Amino acid sequence: MAGGIGAKKVDITGSTEESGLLLAVSIKTINFRDGRSKNYQKNLINRRGDMLMEAVTLHRRFPYAVLVGMMFLDGGAANDHTEKRKSTFENAHPRLRLFTGRDDPADRDEQFERLYLSLINLGDTDRPFRFYEVGEANAETGPDAAIDDMLQQIAERNPDLYEFESGRLIKT
């Protein structure tokens, strides 16, 4: 996808000829423990940098687009704390918090409208994924709530073209 600073590949996009880019979802993962430290934190800052460059590039060209970041961490990232360090999951929230909550198209380009952290535990057949909005480490949300939030934001950014009703984005 062409951006304001150059081309950028994004995992999921939604656009129309009429509106241009409406939605972009960037997905990042950290699945393996670092061999030396035995935690998942090693690539956290690199993944954040990748996401921020995507946000700047896309918001420069499409300031009204709704950009959502999703970082998936192995479930062990919630329990890799030591006496001197919080878990990777706990540390990720303050390191990402500054870059979420872009509520106005004129806000900072490097911010995402929303950032989510998800803990993956495929061995848990009842709840293999747990979703959290960045900054809300103690308040689990669900993927359905995240999708509803994305669609609601698209409608708010494009009130002449879309409405959000009963979990659906409706063209007006």
Q: Does any domain span residue 128?
A: yes
Q: Does any domain span residue 38?
A: yes
Task: Provide the residue-wise pLDDT of the chain in tens; the chain has 172 residues.
Answer: 555 565 667 889 999 988 889 999 999 998 888 888 878 888 888 889 999 999 999 999 999 999 999 999 999 999 988 899 899 999 999 999 999 999 999 999 999 999 999 999 888 888 888 999 999 999 999 889 999 999 999 999 999 999 999 999 999 8
CA–chain centroid gap for 11, Å, is: 11
Q: Does any domain span residue 4?
A: no
Strand ordering across the sheet containing 66-74: 12-16, 20-30, 66-74, 114-120, 129-133, 140-141
Place of tokens 């460059």: 53
What are 102's two structure tokens?
């872009």
Q: Does any domain span residue 1?
A: no
pTM of the model: 0.89
Number of domains in the chain: 1
Q: Does any domain span residue 93?
A: yes
Number of C-alpha atoms within 13 angstroms, CB side, residue 148?
8
Name the burial class of residue 33, with classes exposed (0-12), middle (13-18) and buried (19+) by CB atoms within 10 angstroms of its CB.
Answer: middle
Q: Does any domain span residue 118?
A: yes
CA dist., res. 10 & res. 65, Å (int): 13
CA dist., res. 128 & res. 157, Å (int): 33
Strands 140-141, 114-120: pairing kind: unpaired
Domain that holds residue 105: 12-171
Beta bridge partners, 129, equal: 120
Q: What is the pLDDT of residue 13?
A: 92
The amino acid occupying position 111 is: Q
| Three-state secondary-structure class, residue 144 | helix
Q: What is the pLDDT of residue 46?
A: 87
Q: What is the pLDDT of residue 4?
A: 52
Q: Does any domain span residue 111?
A: yes
Q: What is the pLDDT of residue 64?
A: 94
Q: What is the pLDDT of residue 5?
A: 61
CB 26 within 8 A of CB 54: yes
